[in-house]
Structure 1
Amino acid sequence: MGPPGASGTINDMVFHGLAYTATPHDRAGSLRVDPARVADLLDRDDSQVLPMWRDRPLLTADGRPVRLTGAPARTLVAAAGQTALLGLDGTTASFAADLSDVEETEALRLATAHRSADLRGLATTLPGPLAATLAYARGLLYWNRHAGYCGTCGATTASAEAGHLRICRGPDCGRQLFPRIEPAVIVLVESPDPQPRCLLARHHGADPNGFSLLAGFVEIGESLEGAVRREVGEEAGVTVGAVTYQGSQGWPFPAGLMVGFVARAVEETIAVDGRELSEARWFTRAEIVERVRNGPGSGPVDSIGGRLLRSWAGLDRPPLRHAED
């Protein structure tokens, strides 16, 4: 294996430790279909309930996410608009409870909390498993809150399978709705020269130094690799050849799945589309190292995009995998 950032064979620990990926739970899919067992778990004194308010975790006075058990947890669940089973950690069950239907002051009172907070602002200060659990809770509760009506007949839907399914109440419909994931690709494009540079772009309205990797949603009927080639071609006018998978990251903000790639450009000419991007250019490894150490950084520290860039620059492990490896 070469130094970080050089070509090398990637191992099974691809991007180990990415934010929001270390969920500690057995998701307990078989339990969800048994309402009696779920109700029993909710009633147990050792079960934990994580309250959320409009996608924001609720915190204690010393900044820790609230986790309730026993009678306080049952009181909160009774007031929640939605409760969802997150899974089991050993024999201990964890649930998420959505207090979005009440005002923030009431949510704080019910949870005996001090304040609410944006999860992304907390993520790097929390243990990985806790950040992942809160992200899971956020995404699942968000989906339930926004899937209250059937897209086929317009009737209301009812929660089922411990918050992992919604069923249309329409008498002639009964459509089942499952949580939706929105896959997106994010790609580090390398130039074709012997000492590769990487392609970064700046969106309209971004800070003058706000360059980042190219990314975009996967379209219907499109492969992940096809999405990489289309996004790079549409936004930067660059044709890429080899496209190599690197890793993925759940991104419940609100419902994403980020899939990371490295791609090799066929030529260096850039022609930005002008609609989404204001400019794009090639950066050397030395320039990326300088940005990380003394400048605007490598992008959000909680994202797979930042990890891709730092790994390419030799500042993080593992090394990136290439098609020729």
Structure 2
Amino acid sequence: MRVDDAVLAYGGGWVDRAGALRADPERVAALLAGPGTRVLALWRDHCLVAGDVPVRLAGDRAAQARAVADEAVFLGLDSGEPVFAVDLSGLTKDAARELAGATAVTDVRGLVGRLTPAEAAIQAYARGLLHWHRQQRYCGTCGRPTESRDAGHVRRCAGIDCGRLFFPRIEPAIIVLVEAPGSPGRCLLARHAGAPEGAYSTLAGFVEVGESLEDAVRREMAEEAGVVVTDVAYQGSQAWPFPAGLMVGFRATAASEEVRVDGQELLEARWFTRAELRERVAAGRPLGRVDSIDHHLLHRWLAED
């Protein structure tokens, strides 16, 4: 069973994104003001929650949030009912919490395990779009302000002689479980710069311009760990909108056991047997973030024994 057969956190979203509706501003406005519309309220990339549940606004409270929101974006249709997200970042934390009827603000990553993957997916979707809007206020070509279009899925430069369109960008990154050649089975884990002593994880890196995903795997493993890899095989992908990532998981086999870390991205790297990883789990050391694809890569590898 590959990782992509599993539903990872921030994936498996059930919302119909209804792309054809975005270009009809009158219909979008009618949906936004409709009685059945639900509104997700976020504050500076954080969910507004009541208890452990992200708030969904309706009626007068939704109208109040729309009136003061920095942005309102159309997320799609949930069983036919419109779902929007609003950004209350222009308010103080207390004002945003009071307006939304929330008890706290928290990162969606702190809610994983208490939300279904689909519920986490829509919160992360809203977070990613609203973050992009805050970062794309001005045109990178002429410097003039940009304006929201297509229900929040496009921004357009307001300059008459420019009019450049901007779309939300995805930043692809690869994450790799590298196996040692031969027996016994071992995988390569590394301690990254800034990580505490004894904290190991799989290797990862961003894809560069003019590079395939597989090329990125080979380059990153060589640059950071001095490892030449073969048999690069896709395992699955995961939305990672923190702020705009797409994590693409691979497995690969090292040509030799030689490891030479770069001393900058990675401080050390070593080979672990399955028995050693089980000992780490038993000692309370988790294998990767529970909401991340590296957690699944490692646990799938353990299960193959």
TM over 0.5, shorter chain: yes
The answer on 1:91 being equivalent to 2:96 is no
Q: 1:305 aligns with which of 290, 294, 297?
A: 294
> Once structures 1 and 2 are overlaid, which stretch shifts more, 299-308 or 120-129?
120-129
Q: 1:35 aligns with which of 13, 25, 37?
A: 25
Answer 1 or 2: which has greater strand percent: 2
- Write out per-residue CA displacement over residues 219-242 of structure 1, whole angstroms, 9 at most, x where no aligned residue: 010000000000100011010011
- Write out per-residue CA displacement over residues 250-294 of structure 1, whole angstroms, 9 at most, x where no aligned residue: 000110000000001101101111111110000001111222232
Structure 2's unaligned 5+ residue stretches are none
Contact 1:184–1:215 (CA under 8 A) maintained in structure 2: yes
- Write out per-residue CA displacement over residues 108-139 of structure 1, whole angstroms, 9 at most, x where no aligned residue: 12111111011111122112211111000000
Contact 2:16–2:77 (CA under 8 A) maintained in structure 1: yes
Contact 1:209–1:296 (CA under 8 A) maintained in structure 2: no
- Write out per-residue CA displacement over residues 128-186 of structure 1, whole angstroms, 9 at most, x where no aligned residue: 21111100000000001100110000000000001100000112100000001100000
Q: CA deviation at 1:47?
A: 0.8
Structure 2: distance between partners of 1:292 and 1:247: 23
Does 1 or 2 have the higher relative contact order (CA < 8 Å, sep 6+)? 1
Which residue of the partner structure matches residue 262 of structure 2?
273
Q: 1:51 aligns with which of 31, 38, 41?
A: 41
> Once structures 1 and 2 are overlaid, which stretch shifts more, 287-296 or 77-86?
287-296
Structure 2: distance between partners of 1:293 and 1:38: 52
AA at the equivalent of 2:147: A
> Once structures 1 and 2 are overlaid, which stretch shifts more, 280-289 or 123-132?
123-132
Contact 2:52–2:114 (CA under 8 A) maintained in structure 1: no
Which residue of the partner structure matches residue 55 of structure 2?
66
User: What value does the CA root-mean-square deviation take over the aligned residues?
Assistant: 1.4
TM-score normalised per structure 2: 0.97
Structure 2: distance between partners of 1:41 and 1:221: 41
User: What is the percent sequence identity of the aligned residues?
Assistant: 55
Which residue of the partner structure matches residue 65 of structure 2?
76
Give matches, 1:202-213, under 5 Å: 202-213=191-202
TM-score normalised per structure 1: 0.91
Structure 1: distance between partners of 2:130 and 2:66: 13
Q: How many residues align?
A: 305
Structure 2: distance between partners of 1:282 and 1:212: 11
Which residue of the partner structure matches residue 200 of structure 1?
189
Moved over 2 A (4+): 292-295
Structure 1: distance between partners of 2:127 and 2:185: 39
Structure 1: distance between partners of 2:103 and 2:124: 20
Structure 1's unaligned 5+ residue stretches are 1-9, 321-325
Structure 1: distance between partners of 2:233 and 2:274: 19
Which residue of the partner structure matches residue 181 of structure 1?
170
Contact 1:49–1:94 (CA under 8 A) maintained in structure 2: yes
